[in-house]
Amino acid sequence: MIKLDKAVKKYKVDNKDLLALNYLDLILEENCFVAIVGVSGCGKSTLLNVIAGYDKIDYGYYYFNNKDVNKFSKKEKSKLIKNIGVIFQDFNLLEYLTVKENILLATRYMNSKKDLLKVAKKLDILDILNKYPSQLSGGQKQRVAIARCLITNKKIILADEPTGSLDKDNAIKIMEIFKKLNDEGIAIVIVTHDENIASRCKKIIRMENGRVVN
């Protein structure tokens, strides 16, 4: 379970403090399937970065499985990050590596061929393992990004606008994949501006001005 209590995150913009998270309260239950929606600049992406452990809040509390993340040692913080996979809108694939190499890179090439084939089969990308990102469609790139999370057995997947650059059909297919993964016990949290995509999640959380408003 993830809990944020009165979380504040500030950034300096033109020598002024910008409140990206404004005393935000949030609870994400285990095995949740949640969409976080709101206008650009409302704090959605900052929230994902905080949950992922990439950013630290300036004030308030962040609890992961009832433990205060602010008090985590480097080892505990590293363990947190290993539990959480992040999927970016631009896919974040290395163009000079094949699909197979991009996926295995997340494991430092420690995982077996059996693990790779299992994940590739689940995401229907067996036939593109030896291709490069420049040879793939947007939908295929997103599947590869998801595979990179699955091969390291992430318990939580955070996805920032995962369907933003996809056509309607591919967007629906990606959401169907997320649903199947959630049914298997993986928590899914997506940021989206698309109400149709959000409606496919079990719960919608709305943000305004750095706060949850529902």
Give the whole-angstrom CA distance, residue 150 versus residue 77.
20
Residue indicated by tokens 């408003």: 213
- Tokens matching residue 79: 């363990």
Whole-model pTM? 0.91
- Cα–Cα separations (whole angstroms), residue 39 to 50, 67, 161, 164: 19, 31, 12, 14
Domains contained in the chain, CATH given: 29-57+79-208 (3.40.50.300)
101-125 pLDDT, tens per residue? 999 987 865 657 788 999 999 999 9
Percentage of residues in the chain having pLDDT higher than 90: 74
pLDDT band at 80 (very low <50, low <70, confident <90, very high): confident
3-state secondary structure of 100: helix
pLDDT at 109: 56
